[in-house]
């Protein structure tokens, strides 16, 4: 099993999806669409069986891009899922709309013509997500860590846990850090092009 660790935002604990940190990020999360990095992670997940994704992000961009088995350490904002095709997307809120009114926003028709309905993901609380993420980290054979910011604890403990339990650690990071002694392979540079390049190499090897 491979665990993909995406993001490394400041963390104080397994906080609720209704926390101040999550609310502050709500509008940003709602207004964005999956980018090349999200799609690359989905391709990796599909190419490598039993892959799980652990993320600090509160958006649903990974799910919108097609990812499954995503553990949100801090919960996530609401989304929509189409009953017809199963597509997931972040809710689109009018500028300045309060978080608590999200459930009252009418869903826009899906591209397939189906009718999306409110989707809140799994029934797992943020604390359960941390528990699942820790367990998958203990069992994984390899971990890909995407460090797009400063390393913060307790999230950074995942890298230590993976290595202690014998997993291979591949780290893509934008700058040197105190964890540089841990990975078997470390690539320093911009995360998105590094991830897209790594994904294309993995896919080429799988198809060879």
pLDDT tier, 118 (very low <50, low <70, confident <90, very high otherwise): low
The mean pLDDT of the chain is 75
- Shared domain for 58 and 109, answered yes or no, is no
Cα 168 versus chain centre, distance: 20
What's the domain range around 24? 2-76+124-207
Q: 135 with 196, same domain?
A: yes
Do 146 and 116 share a domain, yes or no?
no
Are residue 200 and residue 132 in the same domain, yes or no? yes
Least confident of 52-61, 79-88, 167-176: 79-88
Please tell me whether residues 167 and 201 are part of one structural domain.
yes
Q: Do residues 174 and 137 both lie within one domain?
A: yes
Q: Same domain, yes or no, for 139 and 202?
A: yes
* pTM score: 0.76
pLDDT tens digits, 36-62: 999 999 999 999 988 999 988 877 888
Work out the number of other CB atoms within 10 angstroms of the CB of residue 166. 9
Domain endpoint, select from 88, 120, 152: 120
Same domain, 51 and 93: no
Q: Which CATH number fits the domain that encloses residue 162?
A: 3.40.50.1220
CA distance 149 to 146: 9
Task: Clarify whether residues 111 and 37 are in a common domain.
Answer: no
Q: Please tell me the distance from the alpha carbon of residue 144 to that of residue 201, in angstroms, as a whole number.
A: 14
Confidence class of residue 22 from pLDDT cuts 50, 70 and 90?
very low
Q: Higher confidence at residue 16 or residue 109?
A: 109
Query: 104 CB contacts (<8 Å, ≥6 apart)?
Result: none
Distance CA 102, CA 96 (A): 11
Number of structural domains (the chain) is 2
pLDDT exceeds cutoff 80 at 161: yes
């Amino acid at each position: 099993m491979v665990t993909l660790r995406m993001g490394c935002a400041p963390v104080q604990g397994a906080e609720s999806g209704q926390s101040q940190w999550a609310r502050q990020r709500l509008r940003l999360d709602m207004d964005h669409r999956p980018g090349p990095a999200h799609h690359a992670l989905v391709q990796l997940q599909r190419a490598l069986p039993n892959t799980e994704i652990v993320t600090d992000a509160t958006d649903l961009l990974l799910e919108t891009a097609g990812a499954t088995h995503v553990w949100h350490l801090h919960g996530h904002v609401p989304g929509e899922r189409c009953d017809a095709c199963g597509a997931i997307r972040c809710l689109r809120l009018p500028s300045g709309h309060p978080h608590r009114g999200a459930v009252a926003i009418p869903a826009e028709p899906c591209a397939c013509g189906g009718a999306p309905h409110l989707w809140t993901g799994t029934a797992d609380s943020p604390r359960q997500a941390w528990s699942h993420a820790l367990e998958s980290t203990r069992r994984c054979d390899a971990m890909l860590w995407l460090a797009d910011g400063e390393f913060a604890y307790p999230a950074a403990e995942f890298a230590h846990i993976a290595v202690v339990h014998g997993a291979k650690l591949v780290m893509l990071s934008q700058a040197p850090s105190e964890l540089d002694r841990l990975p078997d392979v470390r690539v320093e540079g911009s995360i998105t092009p590094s991830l897209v390049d790594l994904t294309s190499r993995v896919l080429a090897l799988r198809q060879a």
